A and B are shown apart, each in its own frame.
Chain A
């Protein structure tokens, strides 16, 4: 069955870089796109960017200067890197499969930006 799982550090220092990994199973990264979505506690989701099935990328312009999404199809993994983290980057980060909408979501990883 389709599964996505995020992994990465739970605590990041201000001004440092966040690195997250999304490991997928049950589908191919060369057939489906994957998006990253984050959600501050108590607020609505925010779309961050997308890794297309053909390797192209799209980013939220609000984050584009700090964000990079890449992948390793041999390992079924999609990566997120975001630099210059600040406290308002704290929240839960999800990876999602893109089909008719964002149809499958990972469990999410909570990231706290704090010194």
Chain B
């Protein structure tokens, strides 16, 4: 199975500042079709996960452009610029390149 390792475990951010979350894959997530199958989710407290970024760098519908995704074949970054209080929760990366689909262990974002 593909293992996704996230860092840091938690991050505390002042509103208006930026935050970055890292995700490293045990295997290249670049498919033969040239698509990088790395996704980012946010799970707000008591809620279901919601899709933020698909295929490494594409913003999901309705997601503010404060969120952005980047990376290579195995190393990925989610950046949140100008963090707002509504951004609190746990962020997960996930790979959909091959079965079983797997998720990282999560990064908790808190507001200072």
Residue-wise, chain A 89-105 has the 8 Å CB interface mask toward B (1 for contact) of: 00000100000111101
B51 to chain A, nearest CB (A): 5
User: In whole angstroms, how far apart are the Cα atoms of A107 and B100 in the complex?
Assistant: 22
Instruction: Name which of B12-20, B26-34, B91-99 contacts chain A.
Output: B91-99
For this complex, 29 residue pairs linking A to B, each with C-beta atoms less than 8 Å apart, are A44-B103, A44-B104, A44-B106, A45-B92, A45-B94, A46-B103, A47-B101, A47-B102, A47-B103, A60-B99, A62-B100, A94-B49, A100-B54, A100-B55, A100-B58, A101-B39, A101-B51, A101-B54, A101-B60, A101-B94, A102-B39, A102-B49, A102-B51, A103-B51, A103-B54, A103-B60, A105-B48, A105-B49, A108-B48
Q: How many of chain B's residues have a CB under 8 angstroms from any CB in A? A: 20
A61: interface (CB < 8 Å): yes
Taking the closest CB of chain B, its distance from the CB of A103, in whole angstroms, is 5
Whose C-beta in chain B lies nearest to the C-beta of A103?
A: B51
Residues of B participating in the A interface, judged by any CB pair closer than 8 Å: 39, 48-51, 54-55, 58, 60, 92, 94, 96, 99-106
Q: How far is the CA of A100 from the CA of B35 in the complex (A)?
A: 11
Is A58 interfacial (CB 8 A cutoff)? Answer: yes
- Contact A44-B50, Cβ < 8 Å, known A58-B99, A101-B94: no
A102 CA to B94 CA, complexed, in Å: 10
Say which residue of A47, A60, A106 sits within 8 Å of B48 (CB atoms).
Answer: A106
Shortest C-beta distance, A22 to chain B (Å), equals 13
What is the CB-to-nearest-CB distance from B91 to chain A, in angstroms, rounded to a whole number?
Answer: 11
Shortest CB distance B46–A (Å): 10
